[in-house]
Structure 1
């Protein structure tokens, strides 16, 4: 599997956190019934599948049928894992978006798209979504696909800005900077914003797709995934460094957000910490 990841050009960085392209080895065989846990990032994703079947997701381990979403998809912000079909390796290109970017790129706030996947043609229209797919198909390497994709995003953002649209609300931008540095109380964030509690929560959810407490929880979980990549660190040390009250607190949160215990996640040793194969025993068949 060839995987390219890189930050966008400086002009796109207020709106796009990361760009990536995946290209599987042509010899990879199909693996019927194989699924993976996709762990939350605290952000939205825009993905174009350039080979294989459309994206299929499952509502839980008992779901044998799943739901398909097409080849151009928006993954809304989530506060927990979801299950994805990976029985066929696919070529794809995608972006993790910054909070507030959805209005400029997708004509909808994050809050309207959170907790779900949405076919891109429902937001851009079938013509524009198909045209973008065709341009990406015409690119003959992951590197060129990323260049084409980045240009598509830059053009759409430029058009939105010229039309007078705005991205992240200043009060939310200030709160996000604080949340990424430390763990303030929600009351402190509200007081600093100058808005009422209800108004601040509404602004925050619209721009991120999560309530402030949920967002802080996912970002703390993100710190765990980074720290846990070092096998020399024990879970008690990780819990303390990431901001949990104790190891038991980390364990409860990890299982809720990842759908598996922390030690089970670590033992899998997945190359991508947010894409973890589901255990065979977790997949139920209704045949």
Structure 2
């Protein structure tokens, strides 16, 4: 049920939708941010209930600006190292596997999904340093992260919050490093094809050797072209499976999998689940409730 200008929601174009015990607040983001920002939304919980979600790869970097309780634990299954100990707002690079996140309840936050090259400009660090990692937002944005979070916390109106966020993002992106045009072109080719394009063809298209393409692409995107193609193909399959009447065999063929068995193996490897379970759960923004 969309609701405009209620519960602290105001400003032109701002809408709030209740999803169970959680509210989701959205507004179209400015055109100048669209090449870099895939989406953003605010959240707050009407009832503070602990929950656990599985986050699956999407081919996007993520920023979560915590205005309430942060995640209690974030871990990648199979990792031998300790769980992530993020205590507040966070940034995550591209993933080629899934994470399980526990939250104590009482979340209020803004979640952004960034294109990999948008994240490269925003964070101003090699994206390869953030691959399969979750870090404190201040580790990539520096002291200005704390200033931004504090200003957002003390602003209760969501329209005004989004105004602050838009200004901060635009200023940071304006002075961020520019990705190589060849890497931008390679990413556009991959994403438009949903991962279904050979790396050799991409290298020939951009005029680089495969080795040079892999090195520069991995530095600025975070995953190799081959791993990125795998994630993008998986993500496209997830989207298609959520459509009414979608059949795994048809989705496998449309996304370039060898057969349904190949599709099943990739869903187990990248999402820790099956295509049927993913479709039934209606995964949203890379999160699958557990």
Give the TM-score taking structure 2 as reference length.
Answer: 0.84
| 1:203 paired residue among 207, 216, 223 | 216
Contact 1:57 1:67 in 2 (8 A): yes
Separation of aligned partners in 1, 2:63 and 2:116: 13
Once the two structures are superposed, the pairs formed by residues 163-242 of structure 1 within 5 Å of their partners are 165-166=177-178, 168-182=179-193, 183-242=196-255
Q: Which moved more, 1:197-206 or 1:259-268?
A: 259-268
Separation of aligned partners in 2, 1:53 and 1:223: 30
Contact 1:8 1:17 in 2 (8 A): no
Are 1:111 and 2:123 an aligned pair? no
Separation of aligned partners in 1, 2:186 and 2:140: 28
Are 1:9 and 2:21 an aligned pair? no
State the shift of 1:61 in Å: 8.0
| 1:144 paired residue among 150, 155, 160 | 160
Once the two structures are superposed, the pairs formed by residues 1-287 of structure 1 within 5 Å of their partners are 1-25=22-46, 28-31=47-50, 34-54=51-71, 56-60=73-77, 66-125=83-142, 127-158=143-174, 160=175, 165-166=177-178, 168-182=179-193, 183-269=196-282, 272=284, 274-278=286-290
State the shift of 1:58 in Å: 2.2
State the shift of 1:131 in Å: 0.7
Contact 1:73 1:117 in 2 (8 A): yes
State the shift of 1:257 in Å: 0.9
Aligned length: 266
Separation of aligned partners in 1, 2:79 and 2:36: 37
Contact 1:77 1:113 in 2 (8 A): yes
Partner of 2:12: none
- C-alpha root-mean-square deviation of aligned residues, in Å? 2.2
State the shift of 1:142 in Å: 3.2
CA gap 1:225/1:273 in 2 versus in 1, 3 angstroms: farther
CA gap 1:259/1:143 in 2 versus in 1, 3 angstroms: farther
Gaps of 5+ in 1: 279-287
Aligned with 2:116: secondary structure?
Answer: coil
State the shift of 1:209 in Å: 0.7
Separation of aligned partners in 2, 1:100 and 1:55: 29
State the shift of 1:29 in Å: 3.8
Partner of 1:283: none
Separation of aligned partners in 2, 1:237 and 1:80: 24
CA gap 1:267/1:61 in 2 versus in 1, 3 angstroms: farther
Gaps of 5+ in 2: 1-21
State the shift of 1:94 in Å: 2.4
CA gap 1:29/1:23 in 2 versus in 1, 3 angstroms: closer
CA gap 1:189/1:112 in 2 versus in 1, 3 angstroms: same
Aligned with 2:245: secondary structure?
Answer: coil
